[in-house]
Amino acid sequence: MRFYKIISAVVVCLVVLSGCQTTQQSDMAEAKPITPVPSTLVEAIVDQPSPEEIYLWHRIRAGFSLPEVDQKSVNHERKRYLRHKDVLAEINRRSADYLYLIVEALDQQGMPLELALLPFVESGFDPYAYSHGGAVGLWQFMPATGKRFGLQQDWWFEGRRDIVQSTQAAVEYLTYLNDMFDGDWMLAIAAYNSGEGRVQRAVRANKKAGKPADFFSLKLPAETRAYVPRLLAISDIVRNAERYGLELPSLTNAPRVIPTNVGGQIELAVISELSGVPSARIAELNPGFNRWATSPTGEHAVLIPLENQQQLTEGLAQLPTKQRVSWQRYQVKSGDSLGKIAQQHHTTVKVLMTSNDLNNHLIRKGQHLMIPLGDNARLPPVRAGEAKPIKYQVKSGDSLWLIAKKHGVKYQDISRWNALSSTTLRPGQSLDIYTKTPQKEVRTVKYRVRSGDSLSVIAKRFDVTINALKQWNGLNSDRLRAGQNLTIKVDINRG
């Protein structure tokens, strides 16, 4: 701002000098005229970009239009946020990749730019955030509301987690709510949190009782009564950062990532190879993808760092169709089983079932299966280091948070590794959990008891305990008979 103060001072001086010149010329006809300011300098002064043109946070602040209110609830939330002096830097860190996209989407519709901070209130700018009620993503869409605004939610893709699609849906939903409440953004934001029906009923009740029907006068759930003040509080901190001893982050008002159309189905690993962007970065920017590839139907866009877009576009133009996804169509033969087919094609039964939407292991002769090849032959979650997953079976009373804490990982990672679309778990459900050290990889094998076998002999042969053998097979005694079939769980990583 120092530059602009200097320019202002120069302009004032020029005006003053101009006035002095007129006076002097009336008294002293022979006085030399003051040399005028070059027109190029004037143009340069006029054309200087404003802070909101240069920095995204200044642009956001310039686009604020919600009323500033002096309410106890807003003051409380502001004090709570200000206890953490790094609050703005933390918001910036979490949202830096895609905040510009959110601001653009709102600005194009002429919406208050305070709404760009709504994902902070909703999810902490975490696309993998889940609520206990089933809301998902930056904007915390419930399944039904997500479908209502066109968000795809299936085995391949979770649109509620996708940055671009969920933001567009949120813009549409908030616009709809604002129209419903006759341009009252406070009521629209409250309805976004608690549902339009609940806010409508509260408004009608107040009007019927002759009371004011503004947000702060309504009887609403405690969560909603705190929700709007939180947005107003964090917005006030951004608006008056200097007053609170905070500094607006220097995020450039320009896109860092850009949605790029990749056409039909394609492996994410291929996108990584063509664009030069590491696979982990592709996954980070595109949390909506549940699998190793985009959906088989329709065209798809992926978020790519701006500097890599041209390389990806050129690579896609030269990529043969058959190299987009590696699949093989297989016709089931007599005597086939999923296990046999999986072994022949170096994949797993789980992948075959999920790839072909099978609910059980039953297959029939003549049936066609799609078999993923290469990197597709495995379910490829984002892994912690080079570790192999452990299999965790959900117990009654478990939650993602408890399981994550037990294994020293983040609950968001468990969601991503297992492509979960909600936090709801069921007892007996199997989860893959990756840790930084190699873990057991257990395979179940069938063993046919031979003459002379005993539990101790078999236990030693497979490096398991006698008690484990009994438990796996429901045995009440040590007696075995030749020809008896046993189930044995073997750690294939043990030497």
Spell out the per-residue pLDDT of the chain, length 495, in tens.
433 333 344 333 433 334 444 333 434 344 444 444 444 444 444 567 888 889 999 999 999 999 999 999 999 999 999 998 899 999 999 999 999 999 999 999 999 999 999 999 999 999 988 876 789 999 999 999 999 999 999 878 999 999 999 999 999 999 999 999 999 999 999 999 999 999 999 999 999 999 999 999 999 999 999 999 999 999 999 999 999 999 999 999 999 999 999 999 898 888 988 999 988 899 899 999 987 788 878 899 999 999 999 999 999 999 888 788 776 778 999 999 998 898 787 677 877 887 787 888 899 999 988 887 654 444 444 433 445 678 888 888 887 778 888 888 877 678 767 766 556 678 888 888 877 544 454 666 677 777 778 888 888 777 788 888 898 988 988 888 887 888 888 654 443
Q: What are phi and psi of 260, to 5 degrees?
A: -130, 125
365/93 Cα distance (integer angstroms): 55
Fold category of 442-491 in CATH = Membrane-bound Lytic Murein Transglycosylase D; Chain A (3.10.350)
Which superfamily does CATH assign the domain made up of 327-372 to?
LysM domain (3.10.350.10)
309/319 Cα distance (integer angstroms): 15
Fold category of 53-239 in CATH = Lysozyme (1.10.530)
Strands (E) in 338-451, as ranges, are: 368-372, 389-393, 430-434, 442-448
148/374 Cα distance (integer angstroms): 37
Q: What are phi and psi of 440, to 5 degrees?
A: -65, 140
Q: Is the pTM of this model over 0.95?
A: no
Q: Do 251 and 96 meet the contact criterion of CB atoms below 8 Å apart?
A: yes
Strands (E) in 306-344, as ranges, are: 327-331
Q: What top-level class would CATH report for the domain 389-432?
A: alpha beta
Quote the pLDDT of residue 437.
46
359/216 Cα distance (integer angstroms): 51
Neighbour count for residue 109 (Cβ, 10 Å): 13
Quote the DSSP letter at residue 113. G
Quote the pLDDT of residue 212.
97
Residues classed as catalytic: 122
Quote the DSSP letter at residue 249. -
288/324 Cα distance (integer angstroms): 19
Distance of CA 36 to the CA centre of its chain: 57
Distance of CA 237 to the CA centre of its chain: 25
